[in-house]
Amino acid sequence: MSPRSTTVVVLLLLSVLPIVEGYQLQAVEGKEGWLQDHNYFRCLHHAPPLAWDNKLAEMSKDYANVLARKNSLVHSPSYDLSPPHGENLAFGYGRAPDFCNDRSGTYNQHCPVISWYLEYEQLWKCRNGVEGWKRGGEPLDGLGHFTAMVWKGINIMGCGISDDKKYFVCKYGHTGCKTDKFQCAEYFDYRAPLGLPNVNVEDCRGTACLQCLDDSSKRRQYCEAQGG
């Protein structure tokens, strides 16, 4: 085969192969930004990526405005709603913290997601690699945001921001979970965070467990380059 023929074959192969792109933290705004940020952090712990759900996004936007009207940061009865779902909340405005002050300089949608993930870096300690987690004997509290966003039992999400741009809500669910919290038990545990089988080594085994971020630089490079 001539060099020219070889080049043509390579170009044809490249044209039919899917373009593999990774996840970029704080790269874009809106729906795609929510997905990119969440799926980047999920990828770090070998959790599958989430897809956007318009219903959960609508519910998130509506509840963010409820919080703004009440001037309060209190969870909704999310597991008792239809569809049942997990929920993360945040409040912030003005100057952005250093960890999310990338471009605009003001508190934005990336700040809540990063702060939720920081619970892992601040509070968790891995035990025996991928086999489980440990918090030095302390109670499993103060970790619900991290566990909600990386939970392996969910496959859809939606987020919303209040009209005053101060309240941020993300909701997490599963396409097979549409009726009540008891029907959804195989996807997530409404007793979170104490009953999280993705996290407690006593309740999960092998790939069912979230994996530790042992070689952080290598895994981050992988997620940024390929994702998934």
CATH number of the domain that 124 lies in? 3.40.33.10
Domain of residue 93, residue span: 27-222
CA separation for the pair 200, 140 (Å, rounded):
9
Structural domain contains residue 2? no
- Which range among 27-31, 79-83, 192-196 has the greatest average pLDDT? 27-31
pLDDT at 137 over 50: no
SS3 of residue 87 by DSSP: strand
Structural domain contains residue 6? no
88-103: pLDDT as tens digits: 999 999 988 888 876 6
DSSP string, 92-135: --SBPPGGG-SSS-B--THHHHHHHHHHHHHH-EESSGGG-EE-
Structural domain contains residue 108? yes
Regarding predicted confidence, which is higher, 58 or 190?
58
What is the reported pLDDT for 223? Answer: 93
Structural domain contains residue 188? yes
CA separation for the pair 170, 33 (Å, rounded):
12
Structural domain contains residue 112? yes
What is the reported pLDDT for 5? Answer: 40
CA separation for the pair 122, 212 (Å, rounded):
14
Structural domain contains residue 16? no
pLDDT at 128 over 60: no
Least reliable range by pLDDT among 17-26, 100-109, 207-216: 17-26
Mean pLDDT across the chain, nearest whole number?
A: 77
pLDDT at 109 over 80: yes
pTM, full prediction: 0.80
Structural domain contains residue 11? no
35-90: pLDDT as tens digits: 999 999 999 888 899 999 999 999 999 999 999 999 999 999 887 888 888 899 99
Neighbours of 199 (CB within 10 A): 24
Domain count of the chain?
A: 1
pLDDT at 216 over 80: no
